[in-house]
Amino acid sequence: MSFSGDTKRELCKIKNKRPSHSVAECYGILLCAKQNDQTIISIKFEQEESAKQYSQELAAMTGAMVDIKTHIRRKTDMPVGYTVSVPSDEQQQQVLSFFGHTEQIDKVNEQWLAEDGTPEAFLRGVFLACGTITAPEKEYRLEMVCARAVLAGHLKKMLQEWGISCKQTVRSGAHVIYLGDSAAIEDFLTLIGATRAALEVMSMKVYRDIRNIVNRQTNCETANIEKTVSAAALQIKAIRRLEQTSGLSALPDDLRQAAQLRQVHPDLSLRELVQHSNFSLSGLDRRLKKLVELARAQK
């Protein structure tokens, strides 16, 4: 099952507290379906739960006859979608009249969004009709695709009034409202009642943040190890050259002690090496660098 499908199934389980919420939800579905003018009311759903819930509520509130058609894939005999439709012109007009429309729907009737909770229910219906969301482990992306610019503009305004960041674009003639930020997606899902989906997005964000922190720490530790190994190798090479030329006995006592210390502990970092000596950290670092300089001078 897709994450988008699971999210819509979660939304279908929500029981509206008031009749006005059910009306607002059905209105959101009706407005944002691909075919919803007075010549035809036909709405496609991926989930059987969404189709059944919408058809039952639409029939109960408008009194219209509502049909459900199941689409079957021939090779597998498995259902691949559902279409909810109002069959006759007269009953289609009855549905449109109930929601205050007499012609092709080109605006939002604000009366259905006036009560507390109705904007949230309306947006839930919109998402059920035209929304998709990508699994958060792949990408943060939630879209709602509208056939009409005026509806997309209204959705964008509603989301912005709720403080939810979104953008609008046009794709293949359709108007797309999309959210690409995890926080905005969490807020939207919480707003429409998809709390489980919102928690999944939030959990994935936390997981990614922790993974990035661990990766940065690992990269930093790896870089430090490489730096330590490189410095130690350079110092050992310098000490061997000094042995082969003038010999370590020719060095001042402090430099000879530093050279012998490095020879005994070739793998230790400077901070670890100083614990085996009487030098300070800066003092030992200075003497090892001096050994490298002396070796270079003898080339």
Domain boundaries, the chain: 3-193, 224-297
Residue type, 86: V
pLDDT of 38: 46
Q: What is the pTM of this model?
A: 0.69
Cross-strand partners of 83? 44, 69
pLDDT of 231: 85
pLDDT of 160: 92
Which CATH number applies to 3-193?
A: 3.10.28.10
Between CA 32 and CA 127 the distance in angstroms is: 9
pLDDT of 61: 87
Question: Taking the CA of residue 27 as centre, how many other CA atoms within 13 Å lie in the half-sphere pointing to its CB?
Answer: 26
pLDDT of 36: 53
pLDDT of 221: 77
pLDDT of 44: 79
Between CA 38 and CA 60 the distance in angstroms is: 19
pLDDT of 176: 92
Tokens describing residue 123: 């947006």
Q: What is the DSSP letter of 282?
A: H
Between CA 253 and CA 259 the distance in angstroms is: 10
pLDDT of 133: 93
Residues 62-92: pLDDT tens digits? 888 888 888 888 777 787 788 888 887 888 8
Tokens describing residue 262: 């490095």
Q: What is the largest CA-CA distance in the chain?
A: 110
For residue 227, give Cα distances in angstroms to 213, 265, 267: 21, 16, 12
Q: Are 41 and 92 in contact (CB under 8 A)?
A: yes
Between CA 131 and CA 188 the distance in angstroms is: 12
Closest CA to 32 of 16, 44, 21: 44
Cross-strand partners of 133? 142
pLDDT of 299: 60
Positions of the chain with pLDDT lower than 50, given as ranges: 38
pLDDT of 34: 60
Rg (CA), the chain: 35
